Structure 1
Amino acid sequence: MTEPTRQEAIYTAIAHIPEGKVATYGQIAKLAGFPRGARLVGQALRQLPAKSTIPWHRVINAQGQLSFPKASAKYHEQYARLQAEDVAFNGGKINLTQFQWDI
C-alpha cells in the first residue's frame, strides 16, 4: 500500500472535522503528520477542486478568524457555512474554547 500524498493526508484530516466545529491550520497540519506545517494546509486548500465535498470552511486561523479578506466572496461563503452549522462569531472571531475540534 502506498503512502498518501501530503495533500491527501491534509484532505483526510479536514474531512474528519465534525459539523459545528472548527480546526486551525496548524491543528490540521499536525493531525496530517506535518507538525509546524500550517502553510502546507493553506496550499492544499488553495488546490482543492471547486466541487469538492471536503468541509474546507471549517479550517480557520489560530486567532479564531477566517483567513480570507473580509470583503471577498470566499469570506462571506465561509462565514455563512459556519453560521449554518451554529458556529458563533463574536467581533469577527470564533471562540476556540467552545468551537475548536477536540481531537
Structure 2
Amino acid sequence: MTFEYILIKDVNASRENAEELCRLVGKMNCHFNLIPINGTEHIKLYPPSWKDVKIFQEILEKHGKSTTVRRQMGDEIQAACGQLKRRYLEKK
C-alpha cells in the first residue's frame, strides 16, 4: 500500500508526527510518498525545511518503511500543483 503524505510546516511534519505515523501503520508493509506542500500566501500553509523533510523520512525508514520525497517543480514561479489553479480563479 502506498500513502501520499503531504508535509505541512508546523502542522504534521515534526519528529513526533513521524513517530505517530509509524505507530498508526504498525507492521503494515507500505510505502510513503512524502509531498512537501506547495505553499501559497493565500492559505498560509508552508512546506517544512528540506532538513525537516529528511529527518521525517529518516524516522520512517528507521522503522522499516520505504519512502520517496516528491520532487517539487514550479513553486518558485507559483506554477506548482495547486498554485496555478489559485491564479486562474483569481482572474475569473
> Shared fold (TM-score greater than 0.5)?
no
TM-score by length of 2: 0.31
Answer 1 or 2: which has greater helix percent. 1
TM-score by length of 1: 0.29
Answer 1 or 2: which has greater strand percent. 2
Larger Rg: 2
